[in-house]
Structure 1
Amino acid sequence: MARIGIVGSQGRMGAALAEAIRAAGHEMSGGVDRDTGDVAQLAATSDALVDFSAPVALQATLDACVASGIPVLIGTTGLESEHHAAIDRAASGIAVLQTGNTSLGVTMLAHLVQEAASRLGPDWDIEIVEIHHRMKVDAPSGTALLLGEAAAKGRGIALADNSERGRDGITGRRAEGAIGFASLRGGTVAGEHTVYFAGTDERIAMTHLAENRMIFARGAVKGAAWLLGRAPGRYTMPQVLGL
């Protein structure tokens, strides 16, 4: 049994994480949110932290975990290069798992996307379409970017140099080898992602449907427990599944 603390405990994911921690037989050591709790104190009384808060809160979480010598799983999306640099620094002293999606199903989907991208040539166009609830503030979703990175890795290219987003107006023909993104927002959709491989006269579609936020919470708890006892460094959800 592990003592797992939640950063972002009052949000929708916070409630799901609390339920998942109990269901997995662990103890919720406490929670902090924007205006409540002390993350340093939470880290001092926990075996691991799970952070699903906001990018602005990330540095405080990392500092608290480093000071207490405990691992952290980061599921916060919308991270920029400076956040990843901070994670790299923290990972020199503690185990850190950062991911755009903690679903075990999405983790497997990313594995399959990378495999397909590595075997299909650049004449197969890759498009990633995602839809989320109206309250989501970042786009493309962290999961869409995760899938895009998987496709780019399969092709041996850099996603940052080979992506097309937000097409509007006369954009010209599609660039060969580009990975396209389209983001839809509305209703209460927990998350739906489809990766299209569009070739000449044929098309492959790989889809993951999130029917409840509990899938992310269960995966996050599994990942946090997996981090216990790991050496300092950056880890990934595929490693949790042994991929």
Structure 2
Amino acid sequence: MAQSPDILKIAIAGASGRMGHMLIEAVRNDPMCMLAGALDVPSSPGIGNDATGFLGQASGVNIESDVRKGLQNSHVLIDFTRPEGTLAHLKICRELGVKLVIGTTGFTDEQKAEIAEAAKDIAIVMAPNMSVGVNVTLKLLQMAAQAMPTGYDIEIIEAHHRHKVDAPSGTALKMGEVIADAIGRDLKDCAVYERYGHTGERDPSTIGFSTIRGGDIVGDHTVLFAGIGERIEITHKSSSRATYAQGSLRAASFLASKKNGLFDMFDVLSLR
């Protein structure tokens, strides 16, 4: 039977990992998507295996370390790997005209500029968290900050599993950026990431971050607006990476009609 021309052909980076498996399963369960490629590092034991073998199914798509080969039949690459890997994939996506959904975190400003430059040629959605719920939470934080620009101390507390290598999380930093922008501050100037010893009184213009790493916590984020006589806590808790996978597919579908440009989940979800 001929495939519908509307079927979105998706490749997954980090196909042997936990998030890779979640993304592959989500693609396989979506009737409007097709798994067209699977990538992993050359040292991965999954190289050469069928990408859906972990599901007890055969897809005919093998996990490749050759990026060009893995992308040759794909419209979009979804990448939740490491900054260095994502940037290597980015170069080849740009060459091949493959669109890109980036869920990787931990980029430097220079690396973000490199992604923005590539977006002149291909369409990219980049967000530190692809969860629909997290991005609705970001919108709520923006509204709260605009309504309470003074008189409230702002603290961001995040918790993730023991294997997460960057801190604070990209989601926590995005929360800080959204809040700072809403109240006319620059997060680079007002963020406080560490407190130890005699710190003196809290500077009311700062935004504080606290990081917890342990166990198998998927991702918890709480923003505290502490005023005199009251406090507001806005919290999002993830119990499954499936939310990130579903949001990623929405981002991939959003890119189907875009030729180039750099977008985020506010664009995907019409939250501007």
AA partner of residue 159 (structure 1): L
Is 1:80 matched up with 2:108? Answer: yes
CA-CA distance at 1:15 after TM superposition: 0.3
Aligned equivalents of 2:239, 2:158: Cα separation in 1: 14
TM-score, structure 2 as length reference: 0.87
Are 2:64 and 1:29 aligned? Answer: no
The answer on 1:163 being equivalent to 2:191 is yes
Residue from 164, 170, 177 that aligns with 2:205: 177
Identity of aligned residues (%): 42
**Alignment partners' CA distance in 2, 1:162 and 1:184:** 21
Amino acid at match of 1:12: R
Q: Which amino acid aligns with 1:24?
A: D
Q: Deviation of residue 224 (structure 1)?
A: 1.2
Separation of aligned partners in 2, 1:189 and 1:38: 33
Contact 2:158 2:210 in 1 (8 A): yes
The equivalent position to 1:220 in structure 2, one of 224, 248, 251, is 248
What's the secondary structure of 1:171's corresponding residue?
coil
Q: For each residue in 1:123-146, what CA deviation from the matched residue of structure 2 results, as whole angstroms up to 9, or x when unmatched?
A: 211111011111111100011011
1:88-143 Cα distance to aligned partner (Å, 9 max, x none): 11011011111110000000000110111111022211111011111111100011
How far apart are 1:231 and its partner, in Å? Answer: 3.2
2-structure distance, mates of 1:27, 1:86: 29
Q: Is the 8 A contact 2:153 2:225 kept in 1?
A: yes
Aligned to 1:234: 262
Structure 2 residues not aligned, in runs of 5+: 1-6, 48-64
Distance 2:268 2:68 in 1: 26
What is the aligned counterpart of 2:10 among 4, 9, 13? 4
Unmatched 5+ stretches in structure 1: none
Q: 3-state SS of the aligned residue for 1:182?
A: strand
Measured in 2, the distance between the counterparts of 1:121 and 1:200 equals 14
Residues 35-114 of structure 1 correspond to what in structure 2 (within 5 A)? 35=42, 36=47, 37-114=65-142
Q: Does residue 200 of structure 2 align to residue 193 of structure 1?
A: no
How far did 1:226 drift? 1.0
Q: Using the TM superposition, give the Cα deviation of residue 70 of structure 1 relative to its aligned residue in structure 2, in angstroms.
A: 2.1
Give me the whole-angstrom Cα distance separating, in 2, the residues matched to 1:173 and 1:96: 43
1:148 match? 176
Q: Distance in 1 between matches of 2:81 and 2:174?
A: 19
Q: Please tell me the residue identity of whatever aligns with 1:222.
A: R
Structure 1 stretches of 4+ moved >4 Å: none
> Is the 2:37–2:71 Cα contact (8 Å) retained in structure 1?
no
Task: Determine which of 15, 19, 28 is the counterpart of 2:25.
Answer: 19
Cα distance in structure 1, aligned partners of 2:67 and 2:113? 20
Aligned residue type for 1:92: K
Aligned length: 243
- Aligned CA RMSD, in angstroms, stands at 1.1
Distance in 2, Cα, partners of 1:110 & 1:14? 25
Confirm or deny: 8 A CA contact 1:58 1:83 kept in the other structure. no
**What TM-score results when the alignment is normalised by the length of structure 1?**
0.97
